[in-house]
Amino acid sequence: MSFFATEIIDQEYGNYFNLTPAGYGLLVIVMLLLLIGSCYISGRKQEKQGKSPVSTKQLVTCAAAMALAMVTSYLKFFHLPFGGSVTLFSMLFICLIGYWFGLRTGLMAACAYGILQLVVDPYIISIPQMLTDYLFGFGALGLSGIFCDKKHGLVKGYLLGVLGRYFFTFLSGMIFFGSYAADYGMSAPVYSLVYNGSYIGAETVLTLIVLAIPAVQKGLAHIKTLAHS
């Protein structure tokens, strides 16, 4: 027992932790402090470099993309028993922020999204697992910003962001959930690759099919132009 987290004893899935109201409160406070601090530091750097700060339009665009990601994360084609699901393109909306505004904004928004997922749908067995699955796993989607100014940057950025998330979910599955591998006659690394690859890979394929539609590409590129105007 703890003031910030409560241990749940489950004979079927093993022991894990749920945050208490105090734990959620502390998490939200830390999240706000980190975001405010990051915005302040980045804003000072931009001022010194003669760059304009993030506009209201950009903030609204990021907020809208994160809201769409949250909503579509609950619209699931199927859900796996130990976490993970194929959603209605929720990862794409977070990757779009990096594609529209670059790596720094993409990583900040993706990490914030990971914390939001932790708040609304937590599954915690340890602090390292929580960081790997939520902060680093979802945060890796912001790597899409590396290709924000490149040709075919949306597709390249989305693939990089998804691969980043897959890497961290693979680590989490192998390290923290590898004990389930024996039930399927697999080693922990193979089990994690197959388990996490099944839902991440399925959503990636569906998303790439949609992104291959010229009208979709033009529409998302137009939104990028409007956000920077």
d(CA 215, CA 143): 24
Residue range 197-221: mean pLDDT, rounded: 94
Residue range 77-86: mean pLDDT, rounded: 84
Distances (CA, A) of 104 to 37, 46, 115, 177: 14, 12, 17, 31
d(CA 90, CA 39): 25
- Range with the poorest average pLDDT among 29-38, 62-71, 79-88, 102-111: 29-38
* The pLDDT of residue 175: 86
Q: Tokens standing for 195?
A: 């388990």
Secondary structure, 3-state, the chain: CCCCEEEECCCCCCCEEEECHHHHHHHHHHHHHHHHHHHHHHHHHHHHCCCCCCCHHHHHHHHHHHHHHHHHHCCEEEECCCCCEEECCHHHHHHHHHHHHCHHHHHHHHHHHHHHHHHHCCCECCHHHHHHHHHHHHHHHHHHHHHCCCCCHHHHHHHHHHHHHHHHHHHHHHHHCHHHHHHHCCCHHHHHHHHHHHHHHHHHHHHHHHHCCHHHHHHHHHHHHHHHC
Neighbours of 202 (CB within 10 A): 14
Q: Among residues 32, 106, 29, 31, which one has the least CA distance to residue 62?
A: 106
CA atoms within 13 A on the CB side of 66: 23
Q: Among residues 203, 181, 205, which one has the least CA distance to residue 85?
A: 203
37 pLDDT above the threshold of 70: no
d(CA 72, CA 203): 12
Looking at residue 78, its amino acid is F
* The pLDDT of residue 178: 83
Q: Are 36 and 28 in contact (CB under 8 A)?
A: no
Residue range 81-102: mean pLDDT, rounded: 91
* The pLDDT of residue 2: 64
118 pLDDT above the threshold of 80: yes
d(CA 146, CA 110): 14
Q: The pTM is what?
A: 0.78
